[in-house]
């Protein structure tokens, strides 16, 4: 098990590295039998310490947890508590994510670009053909999965939303965090051509 520990705006000494590493390893070894890799990042913003934990388990599934505190140790304690809650809650579903069917779906995942655009007062969004000023670029994976898998992956992360291809019909869907604590699901209408080929929309309940 490899746990990388880094710092931003703060020096992570041996004492903190040993404490944080053992804390996260203990949780992962308790609930996950497979070999995993992780990254712990400690950041300081004025008087507040923030710890981010990212753990990759079998099948490429990412577990994320953030914690804050008035000192480095309390911030990693908070992150570890959130991580343990997520691992405990979804242990059985994490195993399902490594199934052959799920692995086959991941082979057709789509790599997409992720842009950060400027919202300066000089922008003219109504101008035809105008593109916003791009100030950063990254990468995002658009996975091919069931709605249940998408909900699980979002809830195991700290992301506010996730775009994915619905395994039922291949269309682009979005799951997102609602203000009431639940997760919303946006299912785009299928193209006419897809419907003509016999694809069916997912059944909605409730």
Domains and CATH numbers, the chain: 2-96 (3.30.160.100), 100-196 (3.30.505.50)
Which residues of the chain fall below pLDDT 50? 199-202, 204-206
Q: How many residues does the chain have?
A: 206
pLDDT at 206: 39
**pLDDT value of position 117:** 82
- In our burial notation (b when 16+ CB lie closer than 10 A, e otherwise), range 75-101 reads bbbbbbebbbebbeebeebbeebeeee
Q: Residue 132 corresponds to which tokens in the numbers above? A: 């916003």
- The confidence score (pLDDT) of residue 67 equals 95
- Residue 114: the pLDDT is 76
């Amino acid at each position: 098990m490899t746990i990388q520990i880094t710092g931003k705006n703060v020096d992570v000494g041996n004492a903190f590295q040993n404490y944080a590493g053992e804390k996260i390893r203990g949780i992962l070894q308790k609930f996950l039998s497979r070999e995993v890799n992780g990254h712990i990042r400690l950041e300081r913003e004025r008087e507040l310490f923030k710890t981010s934990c990212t753990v990759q388990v079998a099948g490429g599934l990412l577990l994320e947890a953030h914690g804050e505190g008035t000192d480095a140790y309390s911030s990693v304690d908070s992150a570890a508590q959130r991580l343990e809650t997520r691992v405990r809650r979804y242990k059985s579903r994490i195993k399902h994510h490594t199934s052959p069917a799920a692995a086959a779906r991941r082979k057709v995942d789509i790599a997409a670009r992720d842009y950060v655009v400027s919202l300066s007062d000089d922008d003219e969004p109504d101008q035809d053909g105008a593109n916003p000023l791009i100030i950063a670029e990254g990468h995002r994976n658009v996975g091919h999965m069931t709605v249940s898998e998408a909900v699980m992956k979002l809830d195991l992360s700290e992301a506010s939303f996730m775009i994915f291809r619905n395994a039922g019909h291949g269309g682009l869907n979005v799951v997102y965090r609602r203000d009431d604590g639940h997760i919303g699901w946006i299912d785009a209408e299928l193209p006419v051509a897809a419907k003509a080929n016999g694809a069916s929309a997912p059944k909605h309940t409730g």
